Structure 1
């Protein structure tokens, strides 16, 4: 049961960061016999699914390294990553009771959404900087974090679940700050472009 919960949570969380890479890695591990997936997820081991996921993962890897375009990519994938995380989380429980699968889908969507919004919000702030180096560093760090986290979910479930709780606590603290930072950044950009000073400012 611990492994099933870890698989469900791991797929949802990783999907919020890198959906296609998540499917590709889990599919390869299943095809090699390194992990046992429930029948509902057996399709992930299909060569066709793995091949398509690898192609999309490469496209996403490149898109995520382009400043500003990565935020557009994230915005579009808000409609993809969160539902996919919910579906994968529910399917990971196999033949569980329908009420448990519904609960898993809700929790999975929440996990995917939390990971996605944390990633997308931080990247918007980073993209407000004119130099691309910080963007590349953040993107590569996300790639590494997602791969390590998913491997822990597959092979060290207890460790992953403990770290996941820590991530959720961090996300609960940082998301409101990211939102305020993004709002402030957009207001600053609008003020600069329109040449209008914010309310309350005074001319020297």
Structure 2
């Protein structure tokens, strides 16, 4: 069960930022004893891959803070974030962490299942994020982009670290992120609907 919480939290982080959890789990496995990846996922610790992911992370973080560019970036990331979520979920559920000394064979017979679950989790978070951003930018003349992006990056970092150290807390955090995104989307849509009604009555 703990493995599933770890994987779910990592996949949710990937839905916010494709590269933070990939880089995080790779660095933790390479340079600390907090994570031990199984042989099938050991390539995530390759230094060349980590450099490429770090460069992509910088590009993603910059693009995500520019109004209009952030929405284009979200469209481009529709394939990348779920793919990342699938990888980190599968790696997280089969790795050994401080909390997981003997990973469960829950997904052992169907290796594709954890990847599919991770893709689904990351896709849900990504779609919510992508839906919130243009509405927020419209309502704030683009001022929301850097603020929301910074908050999402901080959330992805926190989820990645917590997924390894305290998976239960990370899972609660992942649910909270989804709830906040849904609430923000509903609030923005309600505000826009009220403005339309007010404009029609004027």
TM range (shorter): 0.7 to 0.9
Match of residue 189, structure 2, among 176, 181, 197: 181
Where in structure 1 are there 5+ consecutive unaligned residues?
Answer: 189-197
Answer yes or no: is the 8 Å Cα contact 2:131–2:185 preserved in 1: no
Matched with 2:101 is none
- CA shift for structure 1 position 171: 6.4
Answer yes or no: is the 8 Å Cα contact 1:41–1:92 preserved in 2: no
Structure number with larger C-alpha Rg: 1
Where in structure 2 are there 5+ consecutive unaligned residues?
Answer: 95-104
1:10 aligns with 2:18: no
Measured in 2, the distance between the counterparts of 1:7 and 1:41 equals 15
Measured in 2, the distance between the counterparts of 1:130 and 1:172 equals 17
Matched with 1:97 is 108
Matched positions, count = 186
With 78-87 and 113-122 compared, the bigger mean Cα shift is at 78-87
Measured in 1, the distance between the counterparts of 2:92 and 2:40 equals 7
Matched ranges for 1:34-183 at <5 A: 34-94=34-94, 96-99=107-110, 101-129=111-139, 131-168=141-178, 170=179, 174=183, 177=186, 181=189
Using CA pairs under 8 Å that are at least 6 residues apart, name the structure with larger relative contact order, 1 or 2.
2
Measured in 2, the distance between the counterparts of 1:87 and 1:120 equals 21
For the residue of structure 2 that corresponds to 1:121, the secondary structure is helix
Measured in 2, the distance between the counterparts of 1:126 and 1:155 equals 33
Q: Under a length normalisation based on structure 1, what TM-score does the superposition of the two structures give?
A: 0.77
Answer yes or no: is the 8 Å Cα contact 1:12–1:85 preserved in 2: yes
Q: Under a length normalisation based on structure 2, what TM-score does the superposition of the two structures give?
A: 0.78
Measured in 2, the distance between the counterparts of 1:55 and 1:104 equals 27
- CA shift for structure 1 position 135: 1.5
Runs of 4+ in 1 over 4 A off after TM superposition: none
